């Protein structure tokens, strides 16, 4: 491939309104961010609890760096396994109410690592059609046979499970909160289907950790699901969204942790997370366990914004969470809508294929505990103004 070929492909993306570029933020991540020297209300961050610039997390990161240095210097199986890694894993397991937990550097690495470790070309995976790209890539790398079931459709899942003969392991994978639609998977029904068909269940709790449940433990707390001796249930989650830090975890039985330490390539062959990040994650979990004020504010803000948008006539799909998509349709209209919002001081990114199916382009808004009621009201006023200008409502 020549440079000219790359240039031609980029030109094609621009012509299809699928070209992406970076916007530089010159401020901390919060409800307001500075872009091009101007403050904008941020409606596209996963900083659900507003912890990414929290003083306690910053102090914990500084303290950890002062005590343990700036880097782990190696993978954990070489010399990078530090006291803070083990402490965060213990705290995470307690928080998720599982036997143990294992830290990964990113959610992408956690999903690809666990799927590739558990599945082989002799096995079969059942994946929700709207699962995250990291799950899709993990399925591909595993070389397992993959059946895609209709979104949140447990009857379709059961039909596919019943028709899968001659495979080794059966693995069901779903997000709990879907990152582009904001709806919630029917985890109890999926769990029952897994038990009926002797399948492993993997739940991606990335957007549920810190958001769902009485104190933010995630989908298991939200649904009141307890560990079942007859089911290998695995929870993946991240520290990088509601928890305001960085990294990811797998939570489940102790033997699963031991298995992944020996088999997960994305764990084995990467330098361990640095002390500052670990310190911030530990502090974050402590904050949300001790005080539910931020979580309550998050949900109050979420309900207020969603109802305002729906009242204006916007289609927010089946959102049940702080992820509130505003369906636009075409890529061209979605880009124009996002650009008009930006001109009015609102940063909300356009979501287009391949992230979402063609014809379902949207503005993916996310509300946080850090947003003020006044800023939310301003956003709804601008959405109404732009929506009418572009004849979306």
Q: What is the DSSP track for 255-308?
A: HHHHHHHHH-HHHHTSPPPPHHHHHHHHHHHHHHHH--HHHHHHHHHHHHHHHH
Out of 85, 241, 257, 371, which one is annotated catalytic? Answer: 241
Ranges of H-type helices in the chain: 3-15, 55-68, 83-96, 107-118, 133-142, 154-162, 187-196, 219-223, 254-263, 265-268, 275-290, 293-312, 331-343, 373-389
Helix pair 275-290, 55-68: axis angle to 10 deg: 140
Flag whether 2 is in a domain: no
Q: Same structural domain for residues 322 and 286?
A: no
Q: Same structural domain for residues 301 and 239?
A: no
Q: Same structural domain for residues 285 and 305?
A: no
pLDDT surpasses 80 at 51: yes
How far is the C-alpha of 198 from the C-alpha of 326, rounded, in Å? 39
Out of 179, 219, 281, 284, which one is annotated catalytic? Answer: 179
How far is the C-alpha of 30 from the C-alpha of 114, rounded, in Å? 32
How far is the C-alpha of 118 from the C-alpha of 157, rounded, in Å? 20
Flag whether 285 is in a domain: yes
Residue 266 near residue 248, CB atoms below 8 Å: no
Is 179 considered catalytic here?
Answer: yes
Number of separate domains in the chain: 2
Q: Same structural domain for residues 104 and 217?
A: yes
Q: Same structural domain for residues 319 and 174?
A: no
Of the chain, the percentage scoring pLDDT greater than 90 comes to 97
Q: Same structural domain for residues 98 and 117?
A: yes
Flag whether 13 is in a domain: no
Of 244, 270, 290, the domain-final residue: 290
How far is the C-alpha of 207 from the C-alpha of 321, rounded, in Å? 9
**Residues β-bridged to residue 32:** 41
Flag whether 373 is in a domain: yes
Residue 116 structural domain: 55-290
Of the chain, the percentage scoring pLDDT greater than 70 comes to 100
Backbone angles phi, psi at 237, to 5 degrees: -155, 175
How far is the C-alpha of 105 from the C-alpha of 97, rounded, in Å? 21
pLDDT surpasses 90 at 216: yes
How far is the C-alpha of 328 from the C-alpha of 216, rounded, in Å? 31
pLDDT surpasses 80 at 196: yes
**The pLDDT of residue 231:** 85
**The pLDDT of residue 393:** 94
Give the pLDDT band of residue 226 (cuts 50, 70, 90). Answer: confident
Mean pLDDT of 155-182: 96
What's the per-residue H, E or C state across 247-269?
A: CEEEEECHHHHHHHHHHCHHHHC
User: Residue 87, SS3?
Assistant: helix
**The pLDDT of residue 228:** 77
DSSP code string of 324-357? EEEEEESHHHHHHHHHHHHHTTEE--EE-TTTS-
Of 259, 290, 321, the domain-final residue: 290
Flag whether 187 is in a domain: yes
Flag whether 6 is in a domain: no
Q: Same structural domain for residues 27 and 61?
A: no
Give the pLDDT band of residue 227 (cuts 50, 70, 90). Answer: confident
Out of 40, 170, 191, 207, which one is annotated catalytic? Answer: 207
- The CATH number for 77's domain is 3.40.640.10
- The CATH number for 325's domain is 3.90.1150.10
Mean pLDDT of 239-254: 98
Is 207 considered catalytic here?
Answer: yes
Write the pLDDT tens digit of every residue in 93-139: 999 999 999 999 999 999 999 999 999 999 999 999 999 999 999 99
Q: Same structural domain for residues 341 and 377?
A: yes
pLDDT surpasses 80 at 229: no
Give the pLDDT band of residue 1 (cuts 50, 70, 90). Answer: confident
Q: Same structural domain for residues 233 and 343?
A: no
Flag whether 5 is in a domain: no
Mean pLDDT of 371-393: 97
DSSP 8-state secondary structure symbol assigned to residue 202: E
Mean pLDDT of 350-363: 95
Write the pLDDT tens digit of every residue in 311-339: 999 999 999 999 999 999 999 999 999 99
Q: What is the pTM of this model?
A: 0.95
Q: Same structural domain for residues 69 and 43?
A: no
Flag whether 208 is in a domain: yes
> Whose CA is closest to 235, among 279, 281, 174?
174
pLDDT surpasses 80 at 260: yes
Of 290, 324, 341, the domain-final residue: 290
Q: Same structural domain for residues 116 and 226?
A: yes
């Amino acid at each position: 491939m020549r440079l000219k070929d790359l240039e031609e492909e980029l030109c094609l993306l621009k012509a299809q309104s699928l070209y992406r570029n970076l916007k530089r933020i010159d401020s901390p991540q919060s409800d307001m961010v500075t872009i091009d020297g101007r403050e904008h209300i941020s409606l596209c961050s996963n900083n659900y609890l507003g912890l990414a610039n929290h003083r306690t997390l910053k102090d914990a990161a500084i303290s950890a760096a002062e005590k343990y240095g700036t880097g782990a210097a190696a993978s954990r199986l070489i010399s990078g396994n530090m006291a803070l890694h083990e402490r965060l894993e213990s705290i995470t397991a307690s928080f998720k109410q599982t036997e143990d937990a294992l830290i990964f550097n990113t959610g992408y690495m956690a999903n690809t690592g666990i799927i590739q470790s558990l599945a082989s070309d002799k096995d079969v995976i059942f994946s929700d059609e709207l699962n995250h790209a990291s799950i899709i890539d993990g399925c591909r790398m595993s070389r397992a046979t993959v059946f895609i079931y209709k979104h949140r459709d447990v009857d379709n899942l059961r039909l596919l499970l019943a028709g899968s003969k001659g495979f080794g392991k059966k693995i069901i994978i779903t997000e709990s909160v879907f990152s582009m639609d904001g709806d919630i998977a029917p985890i109890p029904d999926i769990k029952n289907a897994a038990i009926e068909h002797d399948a492993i269940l993997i739940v991606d709790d990335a957007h549920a950790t810190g958001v769902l449940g009485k104190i933010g433990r995630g989908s298991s707390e939200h649904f009141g699901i307890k560990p079942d001796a007859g089911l290998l249930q695995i929870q993946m989650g991240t520290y990088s969204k509601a928890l305001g830090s960085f990294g990811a975890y797998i939570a489940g039985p102790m033997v699963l942790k031991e298995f992944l330490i020996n088999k997960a390539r994305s764990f084995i062959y990467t330098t361990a997370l640095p002390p500052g990040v670990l310190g911030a994650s530990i502090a974050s979990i402590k904050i949300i366990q001790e005080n539910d004020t931020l979580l309550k504010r998050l949900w109050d803000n979420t309900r207020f914004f969603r109802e305002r948008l729906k009242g204006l006539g916007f289609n927010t799909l089946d959102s049940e969470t702080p992820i509130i998509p505003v369906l636009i349709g075409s890529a061209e209209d979605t880009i124009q809508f996002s650009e008009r919002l930006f001109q009015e001081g609102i940063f909300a990114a356009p979501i287009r294929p391949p992230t979402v199916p063609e014809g379902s382009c949207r503005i993916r808004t996310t509300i946080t505990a850090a947003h003020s009621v006044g800023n939310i009201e301003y956003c709804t006023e601008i959405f109404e103004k732009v929506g009418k200008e572009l004849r979306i409502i």
